[in-house]
Structure 1
């Protein structure tokens, strides 16, 4: 039987976004203790990051811009995208080093949770554990870019190429897979990194650097949605591009 004590939870949040922290804190179930990244001293804020910061901390960027009709691939990375990836990475490391819970829940601070979120999440996990032999990643909400695939279990799909990481859950063994990729030495947007590990990524260079390794499912319908950017803003997009040396 799955309970709230089986779930270690994290919320990606910046110290200057106390408004977002307060908003999501009101919705978090009291039985689900949460760690906020805004309580850590990390290089997560794209407004404050620089190449010097990345070099000093041993981080390296993946050669991101390519000739492509996809505007997200043909432009440089933004510092906000880098900071977001580093925040997710910090959560995985913290969980790997400190937690014994079998499930790790990651939420971004613009995630919107329903009043029965915890009960629905526990029911979903119990059904997966009972009927599916193995899974590593469970999207609670996302933005599909390509068609999903049928799952044998109602209430779930096998996700196709998807963006947005405002709500997902990892199993404890999946943390080792994520960390063994050494993402810190080839930083890409977290939106691209996660799908590269459960599909053959449409970019050959990403597919080669981060090959498919995880088994993923997605809740359908989603358990979590995202606040509209016109309402909450975007700390990822509201940052400068990384310029060439």
Structure 2
């Protein structure tokens, strides 16, 4: 029996529900086997059309259902830059270096927000010995200089000697500047474990900076305290984590690194810095106090060759004497035209840097 209102049926074309028409209702109530009454044959019903006149089968299939609409792809590399807190350490008296660094960052790292962090002028600002020592012993650094020499195939092991040297005002200012950066890392992170990218003002990011960094961070182990983006390798890598990431034992320079609050806290708890700051950080890594990794290839180079346009005097630069012929880079050892030395020297934008300078690259005299 059919009720007062006909039963609804689904309209496949519209995806809606509508009541049966008179003809359909009559057909539904007709006893099974009853012949159709003679009469004029009704014309074939045309398919239902949308209000805009288009038939359903004329609508492109991907747009028929919401499930088939593509979700926009997220640019992971761009997201990494947008979320990365960054400071550039720069002396008040060197606005030219800050301007040059800012230009390089805008060209190679669009979307990266960075702030200037005032560096300590070692010649003008008193620095407490409780934060940075007045002298250092070269024993550990000499050991890794020899390791690097053997790794590079140099024949100069007899030229490295252990000494006690005074830290230059520039080296003390450099260490103090990085101490300020570590404190800034803790203060700005609050209760979160948000990392901080620390760049020196001669930092020159490579064209692949964002893409390589995103891949390296994706494979970074959870025990990482420090991630070097630019460095000079001393010892062999402890292990390879991925194509873009290796675990470090001892590396030089502090031109660019990402530091986590846990590492900043560990470094501040172990003051004073009693070596050039890059040697001191490398030593803590070598002894297992902190876990450091390196992005490979380097994605932060130095805008100039080592010791060019620098305001700092390195205490171990000439400790063998003014006439020393110590070789501490591939260029000096092999000569500039040797295949081993190709690509070494100035790190202009786009250049490939494989140099192994032995001392800190800090520029904060």
3-state SS, counterpart of residue 26 of structure 1: helix
Match of 1:113 in 2: 205
Match of 1:47 in 2: 123
Does residue 1:81 correspond to 2:153, yes or no?
no
The counterpart of 1:33, out of the listed 113, 133, 137, is 113
Higher relative contact order by CA 8 Å / sep ≥ 6: 1 or 2? 1
Does residue 1:153 correspond to 2:242, yes or no?
yes
Count of residue pairs brought into register by the alignment: 216
CA RMSD of aligned residues (A): 2.9
3-state SS, counterpart of residue 285 of structure 2: coil
Structure exhibiting the larger radius of gyration computed from Cα positions:
2
Does residue 1:122 correspond to 2:214, yes or no?
yes
Higher mean Cα deviation, 139-148 or 224-233?
A: 224-233
Query: Map of 1:1-245 to 2, 5 A cutoff?
Result: 3-28=80-105, 29-38=109-118, 44-49=120-125, 53-55=126-128, 59-61=131-133, 63-65=135-137, 70=160, 73-99=163-189, 100=192, 102-128=194-220, 132-181=221-270, 183=271, 185-200=272-287, 212-229=288-305, 232-237=308-313
TM value normalised by structure 1: 0.76
Higher mean Cα deviation, 212-221 or 69-78?
A: 69-78
Which structure carries more helix by proportion?
1
- The Cα shift of 1:153 comes to 1.9
TM value normalised by structure 2: 0.53
- Cα–Cα, structure 1 residues 66 and 116, in superposed 2: closer, same or farther, change >3 Å? closer
Counterpart Cα distance in 2 of 1:4 and 1:228? 24
Higher mean Cα deviation, 92-101 or 9-18?
A: 92-101
Q: Is the 8 A contact 2:185 2:260 kept in 1?
A: no
Counterpart Cα distance in 2 of 1:65 and 1:198? 18
Unaligned stretches of 5+ in structure 2?
1-75, 143-158, 316-365
CA distances 1:166-216 after superposition (whole Å, capped 9, x unpaired): 0111123222212221x2x3443111111122113xxxxxxxxxxx31111
Counterpart Cα distance in 1 of 2:282 and 2:306? 26
3-state SS, counterpart of residue 166 of structure 2: coil
Q: Is the 8 A contact 2:88 2:200 kept in 1?
A: yes
- Cα–Cα, structure 1 residues 81 and 231, in superposed 2: closer, same or farther, change >3 Å? closer
